[in-house]
């Protein structure tokens, strides 16, 4: 049986730059309508073009920004690797684990992650909200993961609600608090199953 590890992307594998993006748009906070729109986009219910056009209607701050410039800014939310994750993922692969993304994300950001992340060669696939039509912590996305890859021996996420749902599913779910904590607790050696 394959031993798989499920990895959230933002906050676990890579750093996110939402604050910089909001600053560039001159937005102190996300309006509720934009939050709902983002949810629809990350659930794959809107194409990137539809999402962009609806954001333009909701955000007057976008009026002077070209589509190309906006997409560049949006893709830049995907920051550098989370410190230590490339090394840790390399060690897990050497031990025979299959590493998979398990993430709430849009198609645009998923593509950007694959383009930017330094350890893409260690990741063999994933389950994404934009493909499933639901977002974590909805049980449906966890079921999608299990149906395709089986129950992971370890699942790391930086959001407590997502970890809690993983535990309810019977997963060995852990809150990600940095690679040093993982290595200190020797979690990579103590997977249940």
pLDDT, one tens digit per residue, over 21-57 is 999 999 999 999 999 999 999 999 999 999 999 999 9
What's the pLDDT at 184? Answer: 75
- Looking at the predicted structure, is the pLDDT value of residue 2 above 70? yes
Asked if pLDDT for residue 142 goes beyond 90, the answer is yes
pLDDT above 80 for 190:
no
Which residues are bridge partners to 103 per DSSP? 128
What's the Cα-to-Cα distance from 45 to each of 6, 49, 134, 180, rounded to whole Å? 24, 12, 10, 38
Find out whether 143 and 47 touch, Cβ atoms under 8 Å.
no
What is the average per-residue pLDDT within 89-93? 95
Band (pLDDT 50/70/90 cuts) for residue 88 is very high
Domains in the chain, start-ordered, CATH in brackets?
4-15+81-189 (3.40.50.1000), 18-76 (no CATH)
The answer to whether 120 and 89 have CB atoms below 8 angstroms apart is no
Q: What is the pTM of this model?
A: 0.93
Q: How confident is the model at residue 188 (pLDDT cuts 50, 70, 90)?
A: very low
């Amino acid at each position: 049986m394959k031993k798989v590890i499920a990895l959230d992307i933002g906050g676990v594998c890579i750093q996110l730059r939402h604050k910089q993006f909001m600053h560039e748009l001159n937005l102190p906070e996300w309006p509720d309508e934009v939050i709902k729109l983002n949810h629809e986009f990350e659930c794959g219910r809107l194409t990137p073009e539809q999402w962009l056009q609806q954001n333009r209607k909701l955000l007057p701050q976008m009026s002077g920004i070209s589509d190309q410039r906006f997409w560049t800014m949006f893709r830049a939310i995907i920051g550098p690797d989370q410190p230590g994750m490339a090394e840790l993922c390399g060690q897990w692969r050497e031990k025979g684990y299959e590493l998979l993304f398990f993430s709430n994300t849009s198609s645009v950001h998923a593509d950007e992650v694959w383009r930017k992340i330094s350890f893409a060669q260690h990741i063999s696939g994933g389950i994404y909200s934009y493909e499933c039509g639901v977002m974590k912590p909805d049980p449906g996305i966890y079921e999608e993961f299990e149906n395709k890859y089986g129950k992971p021996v370890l699942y790391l996420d930086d959001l407590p609600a997502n970890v809690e749902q993983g535990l309810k599913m019977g997963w060995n779910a852990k809150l990600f608090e940095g690679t040093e904590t993982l290595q200190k607790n020797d979690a990579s050696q103590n997977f249940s199953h």
